[in-house]
Structure formats: structure tokens, C-alpha cells
Amino acid sequence: MDTSAPTIEQINKLDTTDSLIKCLNEHINFTEKTLQALRNEEVNGSALLQSSQEDLKEWEVPGGLAKNIIGLIKELKKKRKAEEEPLHGSQASGKSTRVLQLQDQLNNKGFDCIYASFEHVNMNNLDLFWQTLGITLQRNAPELFGPLKSLQIKSANDFLNTFHRTQWKSLNTVILFDEFDMLYNATEGVLASCLTTLRGIKASKQDYAICSIIAIGPFSIMHLNSNNLTTSPFNVNEPFQNPNFILEQVQHAGLVCLCGHAIYRKLLPEIGVHLSYDSWQRFATFLLGNAILEYPTFMRMKDALLNENSVDSMKLF
């Protein structure tokens, strides 16, 4: 399908048959007979989206052409579903671990996958928000952006220009925004600018190299809004809930990074894609101790305590 194909929202707004034909003419080779049939039935964008192959047959649209029309609509709806999705789950339920796994899978399928954690982004100043977000994106994907000095994101417009389709060879970029709930700590200006920008990308998706934006955080991210934007830029009707652990199984969030690292590096390669609580219990009982001994933070802590400068601290115990 042509990457400049219209979105479902754009088709739905076409209130005349002629505007619908003009919109789809580059993607469907209409015959004069078909054009007349659509005009006779006064088919607009909304009617076409609700139509079935039987409807098109009743309107005397040839079978082959009807299949092409239905196929285009299905592809556009599928694309819409994958546009901007929230991934939510309880604290310490393994959301970031699942994101690492998703990133590997997307990269293997040829997508340009960019990870950025809002934990490293300034939420108190609008200019610093976009600057630190740009730095975070570049640090995590230098192969896409080049040296740090070459990426100059200082505003929402800079962000939009950076991801404009004319700046990219391929149009299959996926952005993963982790710790998205950090926006609850943002000023109103930062929150409004971020949500409005993402909403703008969704509304004019054909202009950008971004094919999907995924926000990761607890369920509260589903309700993020600002005074200027009361509707979420994400597909909140079909959120994706992290299936690994429920809230009752992750009441204590301690050692989240350690456990996430152990799950991703040690456990998932052994059990496959799906992680159950029973699998985690067995791993924690028999193998987590070895993972702790290999964990870089634990090793640095051990070395620090063995240092002669730590003798007084050790005497406390």
C-alpha cells in the first residue's frame, strides 16, 4: 500500500461521493461503471467504511474491484490499530522487561525501534523537556541520528521536523516511551506540549516516518490529559496490558531493575515468550541467587564494601 494512503479518520470525514473518489483514486483503479454506481448510491466515506463485499456487489461494483476496496479498508484499519498504543501494568510487573523483548523483535523484523525513558527527561521546563528528550533519543539510537551534536531538538516543532518523512529513508520507525507516567510530574506547559504533539502526529500520520508510538507505564497513563487537550493521543479503547504479573503479585517494588534484568537475560531464553508467576517463583527459589552475584550493581556494592575506606562502615555490623 502506498505510504501516503489516507487514514480511517480522514476517509470517515469525506461527506460526498466525489470527495471519496478523489481521495481513493490513487489507490484504487475505479472504472467509469464503478464511479457511477457509487454516485448512484451516494456512498460517502462513512458508508464505505461500514460496507461489506456483499454491499459492494449489490451496488454493482465488480467482484475484483470490490475485493481491492475491502482489502484497502482492512489494511487501513489494521494500521490504525497499531498507530499509538499504551502498554500498562502494575508497578514492578515487568513492563520494561517486556519492552526490551519487544524492541529486539521489532529490530529483527526491520523496524527502526527507538527507546526513550521519560525518567531521564526534564519535566519542569518546556525547552529543557524537548532538549533532554532529544538527547535521550540520540543516546539510545546513535545509528539513526548520528553524533549528539547533529541532533538539535529544542522544541515541539524540532521534534516534528526530525521525524518528518522527508528526513528518513524508511517510514517504519517505532518509538517506545517508557515511564510515561512521569508526565504526571510535569508542568502544564510540558504536559500540553507533549500530548498535543503526539496527537498531531497521529492526526497527520502520513507526514511522518513514525508508524507507531508505544507509551509504557501503569494504568494511570490512560487518563493523562491537559487543560488544552482532554482526549488522549493514544488508542485508549484497546490498551495492551502487560500479562506477566497482576498487582497482588508485585506489591513490593524493590529490586525491580535486578529482577527485570534477570528475567530478560536468564529466564526468558529458557521458557520462551510467556512468563508466568509460577515460572518466576521457581526461578527466584533456585537461580535468582546466582543472578544477583553477577549483577553489576551488586558487584560494585561488594567491591565498595571490601575497600579499606569502608572499614568503619562495616564495623557497624
DSSP state of 6: P
Query: Which tens digit of pLDDT belongs to each residue from 168-221?
Result: 888 889 998 988 888 888 999 999 999 889 888 888 888 898 888 888 877 677
> What's the predicted TM-score (pTM) here?
0.51
Higher pLDDT, 131 or 6: 131
Hey, what amino acid is at 292? I
Higher pLDDT, 261 or 190: 190
Query: Which tens digit of pLDDT belongs to each residue from 104-121?
Result: 887 888 888 898 889 889
**Confidence bin at 82 (pLDDT 50/70/90):** very low
Residue with cell 479503547: 237
Q: What is the mean pLDDT of residues 255-274?
A: 66
Lowest mean pLDDT among 93-97, 138-142, 151-155: 93-97
82-244: what fold? Rossmann fold (3.40.50)
Nearest to 196 by CA among 222, 224, 162: 224
Cβ atoms of 205 and 173 closer than 8 Å? no
Distance CA 218, CA 66 (A): 43
pLDDT score of 81 more than 50 = no
Cβ atoms of 97 and 260 closer than 8 Å? yes
Q: Which option is the CATH number for 8-79: 1.20.81, 3.30.70, 1.10.3210, 1.10.150?
A: 1.10.150
Domain extent listing, the chain: 8-79, 82-244, 254-317
Distance CA 173, CA 107 (A): 10
**Confidence bin at 251 (pLDDT 50/70/90):** very low
Residue 43 CA: distances (Å) to CA of 9, 51, 64, 286? 16, 10, 19, 65
